[in-house]
Amino acid sequence: MGQYVAPIRDMQFVLHELLKVEDELKALPKHAEIDADIINQVLEEGGKFTSEVLFPLNHSGDREGCKHDAATSTVTTPKGFKEAYKQYVEGGWAALACDPEYGGQGLPVVMNNSFYEMLNSANQAWTMYPGLSHGAYECLKEHGTDEQKKVYLPKLVSGEWTGTMCLTEPHCGTDLGMLRSKAVPQADGSWLITGNKIFISAGEHDMAENILHLVLARVPDAPEGSKGISLFLVPKYLPTADGGIGERNPIFCGAIEEKMGIHGNSTCQMNLDGAKGWIIGQPNKGLNAMFVFMNAARLGVGMQSLGLTEVAYQNALIYAKDRIQMRSLTGPKAPDKPADPIIVHPDVRRMLLTGKAYAEGARAFTSYVALQIDRELNHPDEDVRKEAADEVALLTPIIKAFITDNAWIATSEAMQVYGGHGYISEWGMEQYVRDARINLIYEGTNTVQSLDLLGRKILGDNGAKLRKFGEKIKSYVEENGLDEKMSEFITPLGELGDKVTKLTMEIGMKAFQNADEVGAAAVPYLRVVGHLVYSYFFARMAQIALEKEDSGDTFYKSKLATARFYFARLQPETATLIRQARSGSANLMALDADLF
State the catalytic residues: 443
- Collapse the DSSP code of 5 into the 3-class scheme (helix H, G, I; strand E, B; otherwise coil) and give the result: coil
Tell me which residue of 481, 472, 491, 479 sits closest to 568, measured CA to CA: 491
Question: Residue 169 carries which DSSP code?
Answer: B
Contact 105, 36 (CB under 8 A): no
Q: ∠ at Cα 231 (181, 284), nearest 5°?
A: 85
Tell me which residue of 529, 500, 531, 524 sits closest to 580, measured CA to CA: 524
Residue 502 Cα to chain centre, angstroms? 29
Give the separation between CA 527 and CA 408, rounded to whole angstroms: 14
β-bridge partners, 185: 191
Give the separation between CA 162 and CA 159, rounded to whole angstroms: 6
Could you list the beta-strand ranges (E) of 383-439.
none
Q: Count the alpha carbons within 13 Å of 228 in the hemisphere toward its beta carbon.
A: 15
- Collapse the DSSP code of 336 into the 3-class scheme (helix H, G, I; strand E, B; otherwise coil) and give the result: coil
Contact 115, 88 (CB under 8 A): no
Residue 43 Cα to chain centre, angstroms? 19
Q: ∠ at Cα 586 (583, 592), nearest 5°?
A: 145
Give the separation between CA 142 and CA 281, rounded to whole angstroms: 9
Q: ∠ at Cα 94 (91, 97), nearest 5°?
A: 115
Give the separation between CA 341 and CA 32, rounded to whole angstroms: 49
Tell me which residue of 147, 148, 288 sits closest to 216, measured CA to CA: 288
Tell me which residue of 299, 343, 302, 304 sits closest to 322, measured CA to CA: 343
- DSSP letters, 31-81, are GTT--HHHHHHHHHHHHHHIIIIIGGGHHHHHHH--EEETTTTEEEPPTTH
Rounded (10°) CA dihedral 253, 257, 263, 266 = -20
Question: Residue 555 carries which DSSP code?
Answer: H
Give the separation between CA 23 and CA 40, rounded to whole angstroms: 15
Give residues with Cβ within 8 angstroms of 541, minimum separation 6.
13, 18, 360, 364, 559, 563
- DSSP letters, 471-526, are HHHHHHHHHHTT-GGGHHHHHHHHHHHHHHHHHHHHHHHHHHH-THHHHHHHHHHH
Give the separation between CA 517 and CA 585, rounded to whole angstroms: 5
Helix/strand/coil percentages in the chain, nearest 5: 65, 10, 25
β-bridge partners, 165: 214
